[in-house]
Amino acid sequence: MVDIAITNVQPDRAAVASQWQLIWWAFKRHRLAMISLFVTIALYLVALIPGFFAINDPTLQNARATFHPPQRVHLIDTANGFSLGLHYYPLKLTRDPETLAAIFTEDTSRKIPIALFGRGYEYSVFGLFNTTVHLVASTDPSRPLFLFGADRLGRDVFSRVVQGAQISLSIGLVGVFISLLLGVVLGGISGYYGGRIDFVMQRVIDFVLSLPTIPIWLAMAAALPQGWPATMQYMMITIILSLTGWAQLARVVRGRFLSLRTEEFVAAARLDGVSEGRIIFRHMLPSFSSHIIASVTLAVPAMILAETSLSFLGLGLQPPTISWGVLLREAQNIRSIATAPWLFLPGIAVVIAVMALNLLGDGLRDAADPYNK
């Protein structure tokens, strides 16, 4: 009966291990989930201070760099004698004499070193103070580094992806937070009181779950005035996404509440004279908080995908707001991706983030209940 997770640590430590410790031990055994945890942390770190990780000002347009292809970063320079150190070569723009198509070639005669923690454009950290320090900075601002290439207006795709992480990743969190609030309150009421309230709530949840989300989101998003400020848009989009997202979480919460209500230790607590509030918060909530965390983690990537799809269709966030969905709109036109396939790169960011969160949630779900294996 003693859980398998406990068997590979010393029994003395296992004996005094709290639920979170047991969950952590079980989680650590999931190698893929552990990797995903680190990836997720790294991504949210980027989202926290995107300016530090960006190279160029993501909003800066550069007419000379229209559809500038991605540049390679070199470590060993042999073109100008042998030397070590991160550097890149600027690209020379020539035009095909017949088709007038742009041709970029690496100009190895000019080596531009890359500075770590160098100076670049000015950005704000948490709105508290401004700084110009970047993780990676070019030493020649007149010939910027385009790691992921540039878009139609010559803006740096890499820096835009980094900047977009802030909106795209946070919209997942905020959206899930609102869903969770709705889900826990409604699902909790339903599961705790049961009876007629539960019946009605169940019907509502079933109804909401059977609705196709995207057409509804489209219809709601279409109602948003185009001219609204970016923050308003952001809030409205998260609320729209949450309005259908809560049902899934409410169902999870309700199910947990129902099964916990019949647990003997809850009955025992009631007989101990424990108040209803303490039963909920001391006995029931800790029992399903790990499940909730797992469900929430699995709901975040769905939110991110939803925002990306909506913005991609032009009914979500609007430029100049930078999100991954907005960036992918640039890739909507088959002609522009034929000339600049690097416009797909924000899509890779989406895939990585969503995959990491999915794997993380999966690992958490497996580890969430260390007592029943």
Partner 1 sequence: MLKFIAKRLLWMIPSLFAVSFLAFVLIQLPPGDYVTTYIATLAASNEVIDQNTAASLRERFGLGDPMLVQYVKWMWGILSRGDFGISFEWQQPVSGLIWERMALTLVLAVASLLATWAIALPIGVYSAVRKYSVGDYLFTAFSFFGLSVPSFLLALLLMYVAAVEFGQDVGGLFSPEYETASWSIAKMLDLLGHLWLPVAILAVSSTASLIRVMRANMLDELPKPYVTTARAKGLSEFRLLTKYPMRIALNPFISTIAWLLPNLISGSVVVAIVLNLPTAAPLLLQSLMAQDMYLAGAFVLLICALTLIGSLISDILLALVDPRIRLE
Partner 2 sequence: MSDIHTISPRKPLLEVRNLVTQFPLRTGLFKAVNDLSFSIEQGKTLCVVGESGSGKSVTARSILQIVDSPGEIASGSIILNTADGKSVDLAKLHPRSKAIRDIRGRDIAMIFQEPMSSLSPVHTVGDQITEVLRLHMKMTKQQARDEAINLLRQVEIPNPEQAIDRYAFQYSGGMRQRAMIAMALACKPQLLIADEPTTALDVTTQAEILDLIARLQKSFGMAVLFITHDMGVVAQIADDVLVMHHGVAKEYGPVEQIFHAPQDPYTKMLIGSVLKLEQKAEIRLARPPLDTTAKPILEVRNLSQHFGTLKALDDVSISLLPGETLGIVGESGSGKTTMGRAIMRLYDPTGGEMLYRKADGSVVDLAKIGGTALKEARRELRMVFQDPFGSLNPRMTVAQVIGEPLLVNGIMRGKELDERVCQLMEQVGLDPRGRERYPHAFSGGQRQRIGIARAITLKPRIIVADEATSALDVSVRFQVLDLLMKLQDELQLAYIFISHDIGVIRYMCDRVGVMYRGKLVEVGEAEKVCNAPDHPYTQALLSAIPRPDPRDRDRSRRFRYVEPATPLIQSTLVKNGSSAR
Name the site residues for partner 1 (rule: CB under 8 A): 203, 206-207, 209-216, 218-220, 222-223, 225, 301, 305, 308-309, 312-313, 315, 328, 331-332, 334, 337-338, 341, 344, 347, 350-352, 354-355, 358-359, 362
Strands 112-125 and 83-88: antiparallel
Least distance between partner 2 and beta carbon 288 (Å): 11
Q: 132, 278, 281, 351: which one contacts partner 2 (CB under 8 A)? A: 278
Q: Which is nearer to partner 2, 1 or 75 (CB)?
A: 1
* Longest CA–CA separation in the chain, Å: 89
Site for partner 2 contains 14 (CB under 8 A): yes
Q: Which is nearer to partner 2, 7 or 142 (CB)?
A: 7
Least distance between partner 1 and beta carbon 301 (Å): 7
Helix (H) or strand (E) holding 172: helix 157-193
Site for partner 2 contains 295 (CB under 8 A): no
Least distance between partner 1 and beta carbon 243 (Å): 11
Cα-Cα-Cα-Cα dihedral of 215, 346, 175, 242, to 10°?
10
Least distance between partner 1 and beta carbon 332 (Å): 7
Give the angle subtended at the CA of 321 by the CAs of 315 and 322, to the nearest 5°: 100
Tell which residue, 349, 359, 362, has the closest CA to residue 36.
359
Least distance between partner 1 and beta carbon 141 (Å): 33
What is the distance of C-alpha 336 from the center of its chain? 26
Contact (CB, 8 A) for 337 and 148 = no
Site for partner 2 contains 4 (CB under 8 A): yes
Residue 210 binds: one of partner 1, partner 2, none (C-beta under 5 to 8 A by kind):
partner 1
Helix (H) or strand (E) holding 114: strand 112-125
Q: How far apart are CA 344 and CA 346, in angstroms?
A: 6
Q: 173, 224, 230, 269: which one contacts partner 2 (CB under 8 A)? A: 269
Q: Which is nearer to partner 2, 33 or 304 (CB)?
A: 33
Helix (H) or strand (E) holding 139: none
Tell which residue, 88, 94, 92, has the closest CA to residue 107.
92
Q: Which is nearer to partner 2, 207 or 281 (CB)?
A: 281
Where does this chain touch partner 2 (CB under 8 A) — which range of 2-10, 90-98, 101-109, 328-336?
2-10
Site for partner 2 contains 281 (CB under 8 A): no
Q: 125, 209, 211, 267: which one contacts partner 2 (CB under 8 A)? A: 267
Q: Give the relative orientation of helices 19-28 and 285-313 as an angle to the nearest 10 degrees.
A: 50
Q: How far apart are CA 252 and CA 104, in angstroms?
A: 54
Tokens in use for 307?
Answer: 């925002």
Residues in touch with partner 2 (CB under 8 A) = 1-4, 6-8, 11, 14-19, 22, 263-265, 267-275, 278, 283, 286-287, 371
